[in-house]
Chains A and B, each alone.
Chain A
Amino acid sequence: MLSVQVGERQKADASVPAVPAPDARLADLRPGTSGRVTAIDEAVEPSTARRLFDLGFAPGAEVTVLRKAPLGDPVVFQVAEYEVALRRVQAAGIHVRRMA
């Protein structure tokens, strides 16, 4: 389910290569950049969505990508003033708007 959506997103990215689209998935953000959570994807299991909300990934929350693990996954995010690691699969289920 998620992989299909990632595929669509990559197509969308390819059509506007110069400026990254403001709406993205959290998994697409580079380390050092931030985004504001807009929604949890509907394809995400309700229990997982609920947990992401409880962890601070709530609409309106600011998330900064801090660093990736040496093997690229998982990724450490700063959200709600603390640091939490998520796997890319989870981060791909979080819609964000890029911040300057």
Chain B
Amino acid sequence: MSGHCGPAATRTVTGTNRLALVGSPNSGKSTLFNALTGLRTKTGNYPGVTVARYEGTARVGEHEVVIEDLPGTYSLDPISPDEQVVADVLDPDNPELGTPDAILVTIDATTLRRSLGLLAQVMQTGLPLCVVLTFRDELTRRGGTLDVAALRRALGVPVIGVTSGSRNDLAQLQSMLLDPAAWERPVLPPPTDPSQRRAWVESLLRSAAYEVPEADHRTRRIDAVLLHPLWGTLVFFATMFAFFQIIFTVAAPLQDAVQSVFDWLGTLVTDYVSNPLLAGFLGNALIGGVGGVVVFLPQIALLFLMISVLEGSGYLSRAAFLMDRIMAKAGLEGRAFVALLSSLACAIPGIMATRSLPSAKDRFATMMAAPLMTCSARLTVYVLLTGLLVGPGTTVGPFGAQGVVMFALYLLGAVSAMATAWVFKRFSSRSGPVLPFYMEMPSYRMPRPRTVAEAMWSACKGFLQKVGRIILLVTVALWLLLSLPTHSDAQLRSAGVNPADRTAVSAYEVNHSYAAGIGHAMEPVFEPLGFDWRINVGVLGSLSAREVFVATLGQVAAAQNPDQPAKTLAHMTYTDGPHQGQKLFTPATTAALLVFFLYALQCMSTIGVMRRETGSWRWPAVAFGYMFVLAWTMAFLTHTVVGLLA
């Protein structure tokens, strides 16, 4: 496991202290990590969010301290791969990972009794440690009390209370980071025997005058509704449904704004660039292709805004709680729900989140299922195709038809993922112990705007980087394939095309390009689904990243009719073959294409991360194979059924 956990933690500069952050999930560990290092990692209210290993550098005056954010854990007796990482890092006898110089243990003041058990285990490592007490404000709100100075005396280690957002508390902690060797050490390590340890915890709580906080009445009142058998279920579905309606209604005007910027850039190219090849490159490859993808930035931002708010508020744990029984039907458990839900953003964090699954069988089953969840890259393809399938004004009852179609696609993806997990669980070997399911239900908290903003920012940044690198590269390559070879006027005339008619020339050149050759070569496979060579080229290009499909169609449309690329797509017709002259994006073909993208593993990054997480090419090969077969079959069925209905 440890070999896959990001950058190796080594002492780069002699004299630079390396500190490890240890704490249970939800103890405010990642928030503290962000505050200390400024390095952005996702933080939230959901237990088990930090599964990858994060390292950052905290600047204290002129010095630097390396801080490693270890996965959240309830115990140093590991039962999952990510807990194993914690135990290994803190084990001085484990030479592979390098023992930290000191440990910061975050402890949620409202769950002190449980957290002291973990602290006892960490203290047994004998490393210098400092307790960072979080959520004291919440303890006070709920009527609990705690004498921090007395706790410090009783423990014999430094204890520092931090309130999130307080610079004073943070400065006090930062000043300590430079010299862990000087930290106070306990005279005796805590007892290891369970009953003696309980007595140790109780005596500490007494010494620290710990008044047990009242039950969180606010959380109880909210849960009475949100976890109610009837209302809770309704709220869950309403929340999920609202999710998709918002992505459309709120994003639409923002997308129009982005589109108009690119349209304006397009007119600049037409007006000022006279070289036809350069104009084609700028207008079609860059503005048509890349611009067509950047238009989806508002939707990506909104998606991550909502996931981050749900996570930060504590509702995501409730959703997992409500879904656990349904997950059990697929042989999985609540933690797999987190992985699948993360896959709504991107399959990569989803696959990485499977590290929190204790059972290897569950891990592989979830990993095979995760790429079927509708990721944000599919979103771009879905938006484009849904727009072709149903008009923006169409409604189903009070709801926009596009939102309904999107909801159905997300639902179908989720159901298919569950079915896949079930199949893989069913046909895997039955050995290995049944591991327990437990999930902390955190108090409802207001999501921190900074955390939400950071999640949105990093998602948008990642998206734009992807656009700037891989999508740009593939777009340029596709543009070359679509534009070459060039044809002389004589060749055009001999083919019956008037060289003065710009639209006709563009159409002729695209139809006789290298790309057309490749697309035609793929026809035997995709012809039954209604795809023509242009869609085939898009499908091929989308193997690098699904968004490229949108860019390709944008380019094809712009190349075939440079004056009105937006309208071209809807009215595109088959250029040859038995359906020549008929509309290409019929409901049957569009629906088949949607279904194809729903099932196909058109993402090299996902394949790469699967290889890394499983350590062999076997699982990624299995995933690619089964998903392609499923995609083709389902798309064929869809094409046939919709074709009969329409």
Q: Which positions in A face B, CB cutoff 8 Å?
A: 45, 47-48, 50-56, 58-60, 66-67, 69-74, 76, 78, 80-87, 89-90
Cβ-defined contact, A70 with B233, below 8 A: yes
Instruction: Please name 18 pairs of A and B residues whose Cβ atoms are closer than 8 Å in the assembled complex, sorted by A.
Output: A47-B77, A47-B435, A50-B77, A51-B77, A54-B118, A69-B325, A70-B230, A70-B232, A71-B326, A74-B324, A74-B437, A74-B439, A81-B113, A81-B114, A82-B110, A83-B441, A89-B434, A90-B436
The docked-state distance in angstroms from the alpha carbon of A47 to that of B77 is 8
**Contact, CB under 8 Å: B110 / A81:** yes
Name the residue on B nearest A58 (C-beta).
B198
Q: Is the CB–CB distance between B74 and A51 below 8 Å?
A: yes
Q: Which residues of A contact B334 (CB under 8 A)?
A: 74, 85
Given contacts A67-B223, A81-B110, A84-B441, contact A60 B118 (CB under 8 A): no
Contacts of B447 in A (CB 8 A): none
Residues of B within 8 A of A52 (CB): 436, 438
Quick one: which of B411-466 are within 8 Å of A by CB? 433-441
Q: Is the pair B325, A74 in contact by a Cβ cutoff of 8 Å?
A: yes
Q: Are A86 and B438 in contact, CB atoms less than 8 angstroms apart?
A: yes
B436 touching A48 by the CB < 8 A rule?
A: yes
Given A58-B194, A81-B113, A82-B110: A73 and B439 interface contact (C-beta under 8 Å)? no
The 4 closest A-B pairs by CB, nearest first: A71-B325, A54-B75, A70-B229, A83-B441
Contact B438 A80 (CB under 8 A): no
Q: Is the CB of A73 within 8 A of B227?
A: no
Q: Which residues of A contact B621 (CB under 8 A)?
A: none
B328 is an interface residue with CB less than 8 A from chain A: yes
Q: How far is the CB of A92 from chain B (nearest CB, A)?
A: 12
B111 contacts chain A at the CB level, 8 A cutoff: yes
- Which A residues are in CB contact (< 8 Å) with B438? 51-52, 55, 84-86, 90
Q: Nearest chain-A residue to B78 (Cβ)?
A: A47
B238 CB, min distance to chain A CBs, angstroms = 15
Contact with A along B99-126 (1 / 0, CB 8 A): 0000000000011111001100000000
**How far apart are the CA atoms of A74 and B111 in the complex, in Å?**
21
Contact (Cβ within 8 A) B111 A80: yes
What is the bound-complex CA distance between A28 and B333, given in angstroms? Answer: 22
Task: Specify which of B74, B114, B215 lies most central, judged by the most chain A CB atoms within 10 Å of its CB.
Answer: B114
Residue B322 at the A interface, CB < 8 A? yes
In the bound assembly, the distance between CA atoms of A69 and B437 in angstroms comes to 14
Contact B212 A67, beta carbon cutoff 8 Å? no
Shortest Cβ distance from residue A54 to the other chain B in the assembled complex, whole angstroms: 4
Tell me the nearest residue of chain A to B214, going by C-beta.
A81
Cα(A56)–Cα(B108), bound, Å: 14
Q: Which residues of B contact A55 (CB under 8 A)?
A: 74, 114, 438
Contact: B437 with A80, CB < 8 Å?
no
Q: How far is the CA of A80 from the CA of B210 in the complex (A)?
A: 13
Q: Which of A50, A70, A82 has the most CB of B within 10 A?
A: A82
Q: How far, in Å, is B23 (CB) from chain A's closest CB?
A: 14
B604 CB to closest chain A CB (Å) equals: 38
Instruction: Please report the C-alpha to C-alpha distance between residue A73 and residue B333 in the assembled complex, in whole angstroms.
Output: 11
Closest residue of chain A to B113 (Cβ to Cβ) is: A80
A54-B77, A55-B74 known; A87-B114 Cβ under 8 A: no
Known: A58-B198, A69-B227, A81-B212. A76 touches B321 (CB 8 A): yes
Looking across the interface, which residue of chain A has its beta carbon closest to that of B323?
A69
Contact among B198, B213, B215 with A60 in the assembled complex (CB-CB below 8 Å): B198
Task: Find out whether the CB atom of B324 lies under 8 angstroms from the CB atom of A73.
Answer: yes
**Chain B residues near A74 (CB, 8 Å)?**
321, 324-325, 334, 437, 439
Give the docked Cα–Cα distance between A93 and B322 (Å): 22
**Nearest chain B CB to A91's CB is how many angstroms away?**
10
Q: A45-B434, A55-B74 are in contact. List 6 more A-B contacts (CB 8 A).
A: A47-B435, A51-B74, A56-B113, A81-B111, A84-B439, A84-B440
Other-chain residue from B79, B118, B228, B324 in contact with A87 (beta carbon distance below 8 A)? B324
Name the A residues within 8 Å of B77 (CB-CB): 47, 50-51, 54
- Mark contacts of B586-630 with chain A using CB atoms, 8 A cut-off: 1 yes-contact digit, 0 otherwise: 000000000000000000000000000000000000000000000
Expressed in whole angstroms, the Cα–Cα distance for A90 and B114 within the complex equals 18
Minimal Cβ-Cβ distance residue in B for A86: B438
Question: Which residues from B are CB-within-8-Å of A87?
Answer: 324, 328, 333, 436-437
How far is A66 from B228 in the complex, measured between Cα atoms in Å? 12
A54 touches B74 (CB 8 A): yes
Would you call B440 and A82 a contact (CB within 8 A)?
yes
